[in-house]
Amino acid sequence: MPENSVEVISTVPSKAPDRSIKYVLKTSDRATFEAVQLWEGEHGAYSVCMSAQAGCRQGCTHCATTFAATPFVRNLSAEELTSAVEHLQEGVRSQQGPLVWVDFAGVGEASANWAHVTTAARTIVGRELAQQVKVTSIAPHAWVRSLLKPNSWLPDRLMFSLHGANLAQRRMIIPRADDPSTVLPLWAAVAEMRPVVLNYVLCEHNTRPEDEAALTELLAPYAGRFPILRLSSFNPVQGSPLRPSVREEEFIAALTRDLDGWTVSHHLSHGRETAAACGQLRAQILDLPTPSRRPGL
Ligand code: SF4
């Protein structure tokens, strides 16, 4: 297998009516990563959720990658990222042409492999493999500041992971997270240039009555700056110390009522049945020997 090429080693189609197909791919040095082809009903076309790295170093406690036998292998090169998108796009080309978008929201943290992700993103759009590129990130200070520099490349849309109304709460899920009160002004500055959705995973520890008030107070000054606050049900993964919230409905209702000027949406994960959570498929399927590290990645 030539260097920088990738091949599909496993595909898992979802049960009807969900038309998504999950792929595990392998690089020439046997690093593995996931991509998911997702049916976007309102567009009548497929998108792709793409990994940015083979594994991840962030250690998020809601994520199957953290608890996999090999949590992190290496960054994926721009050519590997592009090659993976090409594989998936080939399968749908006759039906629809370009993917509606490629979202770097799979395994790995896009901001930690940013040079390769941006090069791949430009190629993906330039070669009309996809119409748009989105990025999901824990959005650390330093990376967000780099996005705000003049002439920085920006994806078409972004989603930033909040997951807590204060630093301690956020770090229960993202161990290296920045303080939300200091990073939110930077996120809001990015949101002036591109739409930025805020994601908040609903767990037992961050959906108590006092968390409703704390999150409302944190976000109230940003009304109208971000298009959506997306509340996501927690998809339990093996090894995670987190527990799903027993008061999701009350929490969602309170935020919807109290956050003036915000659109609050609820994303119900289908991953509990289908192993769709970030890194879950890779963690379950892979028993390949650990690859050797490639220089520079
Ligand atoms: S949620 Fe994303 S950033 Fe966090 S450990 Fe999983 S892959 Fe990495």
pLDDT for residue 151 is more than 60? yes
pLDDT of residue 288: 44
Task: Give me 157's structure tokens.
Answer: 């849309």
CA of 57 relative to ligand 1 center, distance in Å: 8
Residues 280, 66 contacting (CB under 8 angstroms): no
3-state helix, strand, coil in the chain (%, to 5): 35, 25, 40
- For the segment 7-44, what is each residue's pLDDT rounded down to a tens digit? 999 898 877 667 889 999 999 999 999 999 999 989 99
Task: Choose among 140, 200, 145: nearest CA to 172.
Answer: 200
Q: Which CATH number applies to 6-285: 3.20.20.70, 1.20.1070.10, 3.10.20.30, 3.60.15.10?
A: 3.20.20.70
Tell me which of 142 and 284 has the higher pLDDT: 142
Ligand 1 atom at shortest distance from the alpha carbon of 64: 6
Tell me which of 3 and 223 has the higher pLDDT: 223
| pTM, 2 dp | 0.91
- For the segment 61-77, what is each residue's pLDDT rounded down to a tens digit? 999 999 988 889 999 99
- The pairing of strands 130-137 and 32-40 is unpaired
pLDDT for residue 81 is more than 80? yes
Query: Could you give the percent of the chain with pLDDT greater than 90?
Result: 78
Enumerate the domain spans of the chain. 6-285
Tell me which of 37 and 281 has the higher pLDDT: 37
Ligand 1 pocket mutation, candidates 76, 138, 234, 237, criterion most atoms within 8 A of CB: 138
pLDDT of residue 208: 97
Instruction: Give the mean model confidence (pLDDT) for residues 100-115.
Output: 96
pLDDT for residue 50 is more than 80? yes
pLDDT of residue 214: 97
Query: Any idea how long the chain is?
Result: 297
109 lines ligand 1 (CB under 6 A): yes
Instruction: Give the mean model confidence (pLDDT) for residues 253-257.
Output: 97
pLDDT for residue 279 is more than 70? no
pLDDT for residue 296 is more than 70? no
pLDDT of residue 15: 73
d(CA 193, CA 199): 18
Instruction: Give the mean model confidence (pLDDT) for residues 64-91.
Output: 94
The DSSP letter of residue 163 is -
Tell me which of 198 and 20 has the higher pLDDT: 198
pLDDT for residue 211 is more than 90? yes
89 lines ligand 1 (CB under 6 A): no
Instruction: Give the mean model confidence (pLDDT) for residues 191-198.
Output: 97
pLDDT for residue 246 is more than 90? yes
pLDDT of residue 157: 97
pLDDT of residue 294: 55
Ligand 1 atom at shortest distance from the alpha carbon of 108: 7
CA of 81 relative to ligand 1 center, distance in Å: 17
Burial level of 115, CB count in 10 A (0-12/13-18/19+)? exposed
Query: Which 3 state secondary structure label does DSSP give 6?
Result: strand
242 lines ligand 1 (CB under 6 A): no
pLDDT band at 283 (very low <50, low <70, confident <90, very high): low
pLDDT for residue 59 is more than 80? yes
77 lines ligand 1 (CB under 6 A): no
pLDDT for residue 289 is more than 70? no
d(CA 168, CA 183): 14
65 lines ligand 1 (CB under 6 A): yes
pLDDT of residue 182: 97
Ligand 1 pocket mutation, candidates 34, 36, 61, 109, criterion most atoms within 8 A of CB: 109
pLDDT of residue 19: 84
Residues 36, 18 contacting (CB under 8 angstroms): no
Question: What's the chain's average pLDDT?
Answer: 90
pLDDT of residue 269: 61
Residues 91, 37 contacting (CB under 8 angstroms): yes
CA of 94 relative to ligand 1 center, distance in Å: 33
Range in 79-83, 90-94, 115-119, 125-129 with the lowest mean pLDDT: 90-94
